[in-house]
Amino acid sequence: MLVAADNKRSDEREERLTQATASIPSAILWFLLATLTITVIGLGICLPRRNNRGQVVTLVVITALLTTTLCIIRDVDRPFGGIIQVEPTAISEAEPQATRDFTANHPAAELPCDDRGNRRTV
């Protein structure tokens, strides 16, 4: 039963690590940004030279919306960095509690992980 619980905890930790890492590669975001830039420049070149206020406003609004969308996608994909930051408060509060419980139950033992969360070799 203890081994099963340890395996479950390890699997859940791996899942949290997977969720915390970015799933959209930076190359794809840069490609989308380059595509947006080329599209806006191309549409800007195609605008009429006179009486184009409506088209310019539309192009600026669409550019702002698409740029904001790319920024939101990047921030949602990287929750612990970027403009919208999610602080890891839950894990920061759980760490001292787990350390305290471990040292209370095993006073002579050393913590199984270092301060960065990496397992120590046995």
Is the pLDDT assigned to residue 113 strictly greater than 70? yes
Is the pLDDT assigned to residue 37 strictly greater than 90? yes
Indicate the domain borders of the chain.
25-86, 87-122
pLDDT of residue 59: 92
Instruction: Provide the token pair at 3.
Output: 């081994």
Q: How many residues are given for the chain?
A: 122
Summarised one tens digit per residue, pLDDT across range 60-74 is 999 999 999 988 888
- Round to whole Å and give the CA distance between 72 and 78: 10
pLDDT of residue 35: 94
pLDDT of residue 106: 84
Nearest to 22 by CA among 71, 60, 65, 79: 79
Is the pLDDT assigned to residue 2 strictly greater than 80? no
